[in-house]
Structure 1
Amino acid sequence: MKHQLIDVRKVSKKYKGNVYALKNINFSVKQGEFVYVIGASGAGKSTLLKFLYREEEQTFGSIKIGNTLVSRINHKQLYLLRRKLGVVMQKDLFLSDRTVFENIAVSIEAVSAAKSNEIALRTNDVLEVVGMVGMNDRKINELSIGQQKRVAIARAIVNYPTIVIADEPTANLDAKAALEIMKLFFKINSMGTTIIMATHDSTMVNTVRERVLELNHGELIRDEQEGGYTRYPDNKDVYIW
């Protein structure tokens, strides 16, 4: 039986003026799931993902990754959480004057004290996974956008995370490149890694059926899984904090 890996309970983000970016979000994710997070721009997708890797903090509610309550991790210990997580952002940030190898290696160095031979081994392993063998010495600015996205994914998985969080990873790609990147995420998921992906790609969501969390104006209105779904049309829960 797959164990529960993520648990989100009564999570809200409130700003001044009683404005909510997210309101009373509840869901859990099991080990090995692939979860799409969908919704229009401004629905709260990116905010929700940022809560998971503590880029932002919720105003109310709790988030657990494994047995760890995310809000209670102090900043000096955040690297321990991020060892469990790989993050692929919509806009990839690279060291533009460095090589592919160097851009991946820095992710290992940020969370561990690995030796140079281990760094090389792990970097070559993930480059093989993402189909970039032999590209170690290429500069980032010499790569196509699709190749850069592969490097970003390699960087996200190089510490062997249990969860990969991806925010609109195909947003700037043409249809062919987007399909190849999605195949890569499915491949990584097939290895046992949990994937949480925010996306606007309704074609992919409808073609490759996985679990869907739908947000609308900061509220969770749908949690659809294989074999059925739970719909929250009004989200009229009483908010007690």
Structure 2
Amino acid sequence: MQQVLYLKDASIFQGDSLILSDVNVEINKGDFVYLIGKTGSGKSSFMKTLYADLPLTKGEGSIVDFDLPSLKEKDIPFLRRKLGVVFQDFKLLTDRTVNENLLFVLKATGWKEKKDMNARVEEVLNKVDMKTKGFKFPHELSGGEQQRVAIARALLNNPELILADEPTGNLDPQTSVEVMEVLREINKNGNTILMATHDYALLLKYPSKTLKCDDSQIYEVIQRKA
């Protein structure tokens, strides 16, 4: 199995505060993994460490072939190109259309050819069933549609790992299920996904490997078969 994420005896800090200790996690290519835990249990700090918003100062860790403890500032953009990050609040640029939002990311990550860029935008929007909405502005879309665009944006550079941080946190239950279906479809096509969530209904509906943040630890939860 090809490892996409590996942490051994790692400690996660936010500033000087120890958030999680003795973290041992392994995620392989093609996995779909949930990260659960109460608000304040360390889920976001864990995610931020993975996309290098917080440094890993204690323990071993590698993500998509980048060594986290020795990661240099100049390497962070290259790491992030191999990750797709989906946030709870979409983070779309409100003054640009859907297509322009996605083209902006491609330009920022070094794409040059207009034809290739347009083709890639169409391809990722197609994957999330938003192909006809490219000319719309974010405020003209529902929350679920905005999150689909955010997922399309995360797919642009063929990431080796998608980090979804509470992607259904601002959505109603029905829309959450629709967004979850999109993520599961993407996972079936080979994308590895780590999804932080507090929506236990989704875990019951779509059981998968689950990590739990609790009491400054992360451990795997063994789900009972119904």
TM-score (normalised: structure 2):
0.93
Deviation at 1:223, TM superposition (A): 4.2
Check the 8 A contact 1:86/1:164 in 2, yes or no: yes
Change (3 A) 1:186 1:15: closer
Change (3 A) 1:121 1:7: same
Partner of 1:200: 198
User: Helix, strand or coil for the counterpart of 1:161?
Assistant: coil
**1:60: which partner in 2?**
58
- Root mean square deviation of aligned Cα: 1.8
Amino acid at match of 2:36: I
1:1-241 to 2 correspondence within 5 Å? Answer: 2-14=1-13, 19-224=17-222
SS of 1:164's partner is: strand
CA distance in 1, matches of 2:154, 2:144: 15
Cα distance, 1:226–1:86 mapped onto 2, change above 3 Å: farther
1:15 CA displacement: 5.7
Assess if the C-alpha contact under 8 Å between 2:14 and 2:54 holds in 1. Answer: no
Q: Deviations over 1:164-221 (max 9, x none)?
A: 0000000111111000000000000001110000001111112211000011132114
The verdict on how the C-alpha distance between 1:137 and 1:123 changes in structure 2, with shifts beyond 3 A counting, is: same
Give the number of the structure whose alpha-carbon radius of gyration is greater.
1
Q: Tell me how far apart the structure 1 counterparts of residues 160 and 193 of structure 2 sit (CA, whole Å).
A: 9
Conserved in 2, the CA contact under 8 Å of 1:215 and 1:222? no
Q: Could you say if the C-alpha distance between residues 124 and 96 of structure 1 is closer, same or farther in structure 2, counting changes exceeding 3 Å?
A: same
| CA distance in structure 1 between the aligned counterparts of 2:86 and 2:134, rounded to whole angstroms | 19
Deviation track 1:42-101 (CA, whole Å, cap 9, x = no partner) reads 111111111111111133122202432023232222222112110001122121110000
Does the 8 Å CA contact 1:88/1:166 hold for their aligned counterparts? Answer: yes
How far does residue 16 in structure 1 lie from its aligned partner after superposition? 7.2
- Conserved 8 A contact 1:87-1:166: yes
For 1:195 and 1:65, locate their aligned partners in 2 and report how far apart those are by CA, in whole Å: 13
Match of 1:236 in 2: none
**Alignment partners' CA distance in 2, 1:64 and 1:225:** 27
Q: Determine the structure 2 residue equivalent to 1:230.
A: none
Among all aligned residue pairs of Structure 1 and Structure 2, give the percentage whose two residues are the same amino acid: 35
> Residues 111-143 of structure 1: CA distance to partner in whole angstroms, max 9, x if unpaired?
223311111000000000001012111111111
Count of aligned residue pairs for this structure pair: 225
User: 2 CA distance for matches of 1:226 and 1:101?
Assistant: 43
Could you tell me how far apart the structure 1 residues matched to 2:183 and 2:6 are? 22
Distance (Å, rounded) in 1 between the aligned partners of 2:135 and 2:14? 45
- For residue 50 of structure 2, what is the amino acid of its counterpart? L
**1:213/1:224 contact within 8 Å kept:** no
Evaluate the alpha carbon distance shift between residue 121 and residue 16 of structure 1 in structure 2; reply closer, same or farther with a 3 A threshold.
closer
Contact conserved, 1:52 with 1:63, CA < 8 A, in 2? no
Match of 1:233 in 2: none
Q: Offset of 1:155 from its aligned partner?
A: 0.4
